[in-house]
Structure 1
Amino acid sequence: MNAQLTDNRLGQIELAAIAGICFLLLDAFFYQLVLGELPCAFCNLIRVCLMLLGSGLLLNRVFGINPWNYVLSAFGALIGSLLSLLFMFAKAPAWTKPTGSAIFGLHMYTWTFMVFTAAIMFCLIMAVLYARRDTQVSEPASLAARPKAHGLIIGVFVALVAANLVSAFLQNGFDHFMAGGQQHYRMLYDGDVMKP
């Protein structure tokens, strides 16, 4: 009973974390689609790391809690944190121009550095909380025991992963990720310079 209660609480925390990742991906799409700021190579790679972070948590929600899923999430967060830090260093010199719009005075790569660093700690804490239990792998919660938002949040996350893959393909085609300043989607561009 106590283990089941702990699993339910951990599941609610993980579901909230997946919802937060969905919010970040939706925010990135807002800047991309509404404000017209196409993601650069760093931005696309940071999005991949957000998807890796969410994938480990998603596996826990669908197949039951497993410590290796936290390793996958922590790996995505670590790579994302390092990429964001590298992006911050690339924009640190006074002669460089910041990329993208600022949100509350900080650019997206600064925010993602803080989010990924916090996510590493989150994954470690969740793994420690789970390790205090006796079992290796817990069974997924029954459909009745899952929160009502469970399916919605997971569905939104999966849809955002698919949308990011389509977006990256439309932007870069079969070529490598392009550097910043890209003005159009390569796969939709017909050479007309008047089109965005």
Structure 2
Amino acid sequence: MYKLERTLLERSLNTIWAFVICGVLLGGYSVQFLKHELPCPLCLLQRLSMIGVAMGPLLNLRFGIYPAHYAVSILSALFGGFVSLRQISLHICPGFSSFGEPVLGLELYTWALVVFACSVFVSAIMLFLHTTSPQHIQKTQMNTFENMGFWLVLFMTAANVITIFQECGLSACTG
């Protein structure tokens, strides 16, 4: 019974994690569409990294919980964190204007760094919670809550692809 409860906890936390990342992406889209501020290339890379972070929990929900799935999230968060640090370093110089309006006193690219750092932390906590060896993992059907998280991440990924093509055009892909 204990193992089943622990697995349900892990699955629920993975689903919540996917919802949180989608909430951050939706926040970026709300700034883009409500304030008519197009994302810069670094912002697009940060969005891509957040989708990569959300892929770890999705892989856990779909294929069972494996440490390698958390590695996907960690690597994506590290890449996104480096991109965020690059953007912060571009805007930290005196006399250089910031990009967009601050949210709760911080720029969006600074918030992205916070999200990526928290994602690495969450991955580490989830790895501590994970005690089942891969041989004993039983693949289970996703419940409604998990399915909602799965489809939301896929929707956000598709929305990201569409808005990038809308902003950059097809010529950006061909060089």
Structure 2 gaps of 5+ residues are none
Shift of 1:94: 1.1
What is the TM-score with the length of structure 1 in the denominator? Answer: 0.83
Aligned CA distance change for structure 1 residues 117 and 30 (closer, same or farther; 3 Å): same
Task: Give per-residue Cα distances to partners, 1:56-92, cap 9 Å, x unaligned.
Answer: 1101011110111000011101111111111111100
Aligned partners of 2:168, 2:134: CA distance in 1, in Å? 45
Q: Which residue of 2 aligns with 1:57?
A: 57
Percent identical: 26
The answer as to whether partners of 1:91 and 1:97 remain within 8 angstroms in 2 is yes
Aligned partners of 1:134, 1:57: CA distance in 2, in Å? 17
Aligned AA for 1:97? S
Q: Please provide the CA RMSD for this pair.
A: 1.6
Aligned partners of 1:5, 1:93: CA distance in 2, in Å? 51
Aligned AA for 1:165? V
Aligned partners of 1:134, 1:42: CA distance in 2, in Å? 38
**Higher helix fraction (1 or 2):** 2
Q: Which residue of 2 aligns with 1:166?
A: 162
Shift of 1:134: 3.7
SS of alignment partner, residue 106 of structure 1: coil
| Alignment: residue pair count | 173
Aligned partners of 1:135, 1:75: CA distance in 2, in Å? 21
The answer as to whether partners of 1:65 and 1:139 remain within 8 angstroms in 2 is no
The answer as to whether partners of 2:66 and 2:134 remain within 8 angstroms in 1 is no
Question: Could you list the runs of 4 or more consecutive aligned residues of structure 1 that deviate by over 4 angstroms after TM superposition?
Answer: none
Q: Which residue of 1 aligns with 2:151?
A: 155
Aligned partners of 2:146, 2:6: CA distance in 1, in Å? 17
Shift of 1:129: 2.0
Question: Which residues in structure 2 correspond to 1:138-153 (within 5 Å)?
Answer: 138-143=137-142, 146=143, 148-153=144-149
Aligned AA for 1:64? G
Structure 1 gaps of 5+ residues are 178-196
The answer as to whether partners of 2:77 and 2:119 remain within 8 angstroms in 1 is yes
The answer as to whether partners of 1:63 and 1:139 remain within 8 angstroms in 2 is no
The structure with the larger Rg is 1
Aligned AA for 2:19? A
Aligned AA for 2:14? E
Task: Give per-residue Cα distances to partners, 1:117-164, cap 9 Å, x unaligned.
Answer: 11111112212321x334456233334xx3x42222221111110010
Task: Give per-residue Cα distances to partners, 1:16-68, cap 9 Å, x unaligned.
Answer: 11000110111111111111000000000000000000011101011110111
The answer as to whether partners of 1:66 and 1:137 remain within 8 angstroms in 2 is no
